[in-house]
Amino acid sequence: MAPMGIRLSPLGMAVFCLLGLGVLYHLYSGFLAGRFAFFMLSEPAAGGPETPHGSAPGGAVDLRELLAVSVLAAVRGGEEVKRVREGNVLNAKAKGKTREGAEEQLTTGDLLSNRRMFYLLKGAFPAVQINSEERVDTADQETVSWDRSIPEDIKQKIQPKEVPAESVTVWIDPLDATQEYTEDLRQYVTTMVCVAVNGKPVIGVIHKPFSSYTAWAMVDGGSNVKARSSYNEKTPRIIVSRSHAGKVEQVARQTFGNKTVIIPAGGAGYKVLALLDVPEKNQQEADVYIHVTYIKKWDICAGNAVLRALGGHMTTLTGEEISYAGSDGNEGGLIASINMNHKALIEKLPDLEKTSHK
């Protein structure tokens, strides 16, 4: 007799499958749980201990912290600038020519200051874009740590304020007035840091290494410097680059009169400080700062931020606001003032815009 076939009911099949699943779960649950625990221990949770310093959850940075580390960076860079100059180990060489044909100098002070400032800022705020005058050589990378302390004067005047990291651009000038630095005209030399948010300068730091004076300001925040109270708008004292004095003098005297004073000086940082109330015996005073040629943004961003924070202005010669996003150069020259009718100044100097392109 042939064996009879065995047929399982649908209910029996379901029970059989459930039993099989139970056996598989028992065999593999321990293995899977172990692998999951290993994965959780190996990968830091988002926003956990591995979140970079200076960055808040969600990719935000605190501008008060960024101001504090910017001040520290300018001072640390200034220490390198001073050490190299006083040791007379500049190793100056030409790195190229300006659009006007003048040789641009590069020294050991530029390079060491740049390295110290860049890596301090990058270590504290790794998610933020940093633009510097000098190239950063990864072979010379160094660890420069920030202890996250905020100076008391900044704590007292500035409230925490978070902005998206992707909206921030930091501009570094590790040694402003390099030409004057090589000539040992120390009063003109500064180190500068600027923070721009969506292209607008909001934090400016200008440090004078040879006198240890530092000016800082934050737009809609506070500052440790103030504007001078007295200005002469009819016959202003105009501060200009040493190489541009002749270009500006003729037009300025025709516009404001023969009593107008032209002050040749080095360094964009120094020229902005000339518009402010700075307790420095080697700091000249001026009413207006004019530059009539192309200029790099790391030269002017910090000064622009300081002036904005104090109610002043820095624009192109035609009155356009300067954006600190995109390219690193400003084509339209500049005019800077504070506690003066900035628009009236621009209207009085229409010929300078043409001069800036010569």
277 is in an annotated binding site: no
- Per-residue pLDDT tens listing for the chain (358 residues): 444 444 555 555 555 555 555 545 444 444 343 333 333 333 333 333 334 445 554 489 999 999 999 999 999 999 999 999 999 999 998 876 565 556 788 999 999 999 999 999 999 999 999 999 888 776 667 777 788 999 999 999 999 999 999 999 999 999 999 999 999 999 999 999 999 999 999 999 999 999 999 999 999 999 999 998 878 777 889 999 998 888 788 888 888 888 899 999 999 999 999 999 999 888 999 999 999 999 999 999 999 999 999 999 999 999 999 999 989 999 989 999 999 999 998 988 765 555 544 4
pTM: predicted TM-score of the whole model, two decimal places: 0.82
Question: Rounded to an integer, what distance in angstroms lies between the CA atom of residue 173 and that of residue 269?
Answer: 10
Question: Can you give the residue ranges of every domain in the chain?
Answer: 60-223, 226-354
pLDDT at 193: 98
Catalytic residues: 110, 178
Contact 84, 209 (CB under 8 A): no
**DSSP-derived 3-state class of residue 227:** strand
Overall CATH class of domain 60-223: alpha beta
Question: Rounded to an integer, what distance in angstroms lies between the CA atom of residue 117 and that of residue 108?
Answer: 14
176 is in an annotated binding site: yes
Among 3.90.10.10, 3.40.190.80, 3.90.1300.10, 3.30.450.20, what is the CATH number of 226-354?
Answer: 3.40.190.80
328 is in an annotated binding site: no
Contact 238, 261 (CB under 8 A): yes
